[in-house]
């Protein structure tokens, strides 16, 4: 079977599949593991991609989500900036309602925790950008750090330690799980 994700992203998807736990901070989008098909497509709109390339990327992104519903899924703790819930996908209110409703559905999975950073929090350490830390079966940690130009996989212990400290500071600003779920449901209702 032909791989759907880009070559540069393959190492990370393998890490994701093997991970025992994923701690994901996202500033601007719903995390890929929690996206609907329509939302995934919207994130690619305007990129220099053919329709076939968009299709392959969306298929790959959706296929990655299977790890959350397999036997022994990883623990996924996602901290998301609440602005994501209210950022229009090119004016498509139904798309955003469906995405917020799906995010709420995912938040109810036993191994998924979603925590929202309230919109009124002001400046906080997460404004530096999104990242994910994967805890591997042997106890090691690997991170994926995203940027506008190029994503990178980080394995150096001192850099992982820096990201873990930043994670703790970001997580400290987030709402508890139940309040986050309530906020997600309110956002879904606001798009109707």
Give the three-class secondary structure for 142. Answer: strand
Give the three-class secondary structure for 16. Answer: helix
Task: Tell me how far apart the alpha carbons of residues 67 and 16 are, in angstroms, rounded to a whole number.
Answer: 8
In the predicted structure, residue 3 carries a pLDDT above the cut 70: no
- Number of structural domains in the chain: 1
Task: Tell me how far apart the alpha carbons of residues 116 and 46 are, in angstroms, rounded to a whole number.
Answer: 27
> Is 2 domain-assigned?
no
pLDDT band at 125 (very low <50, low <70, confident <90, very high): very high
> Is 35 domain-assigned?
yes
Report the pLDDT averaged over residues 12-17: 92
Q: Hunting for tokens 């079977």 — which residue is that?
A: 1
Here the CATH number for the domain that contains residue 102 is 3.30.870
Q: For 162-167, which contacts have Cβ atoms below 8 Å and span 24 or more sequence positions?
A: 163/131, 163/133, 164/133, 166/125, 166/126, 166/128, 166/131, 167/23, 167/25, 167/79, 167/131, 167/133
Mean pLDDT of the chain: 93
Residue 84 sits in which domain range?
7-190
> Is 1 domain-assigned?
no
> Dihedral of the CA atoms 61, 83, 152, 59 (nearest 10)?
10
pLDDT tens column, 54-70:
999 999 999 999 999 99
pTM for this predicted structure: 0.93
> Is 182 domain-assigned?
yes
């Amino acid at each position: 079977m032909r791989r759907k994700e880009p070559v540069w992203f393959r190492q990370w998807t393998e890490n994701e599949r093997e991970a025992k736990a994923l701690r994901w901070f996202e500033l601007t989008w719903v995390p890929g593991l929690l996206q609907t098909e329509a939302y995934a497509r919207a994130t690619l709109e305007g990129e220099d991609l053919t329709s076939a390339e968009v299709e392959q990327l969306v298929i790959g992104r959706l296929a990655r989500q299977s790890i959350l519903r397999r036997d022994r899924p990883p623990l996924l703790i996602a901290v998301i900036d609440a602005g994501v819930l209210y950022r229009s996908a090119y004016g498509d209110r139904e798309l955003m309602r469906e995405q917020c409703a799906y995010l709420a559905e995912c938040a109810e999975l036993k191994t998924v925790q979603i925590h929202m950073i309230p919109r009124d929090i002001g400046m906080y350490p997460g404004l530096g950008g999104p990242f994910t830390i994967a805890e591997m079966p042997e106890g090691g940690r690997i991170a994926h750090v995203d940027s506008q130009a190029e994503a990178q996989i980080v394995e150096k212990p001192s850099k992982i330690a820096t990201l873990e400290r930043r994670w703790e500071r970001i997580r400290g600003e987030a709402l508890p799980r139940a309040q986050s779920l309530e906020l997600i449901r309110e956002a879904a209702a606001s798009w109707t």
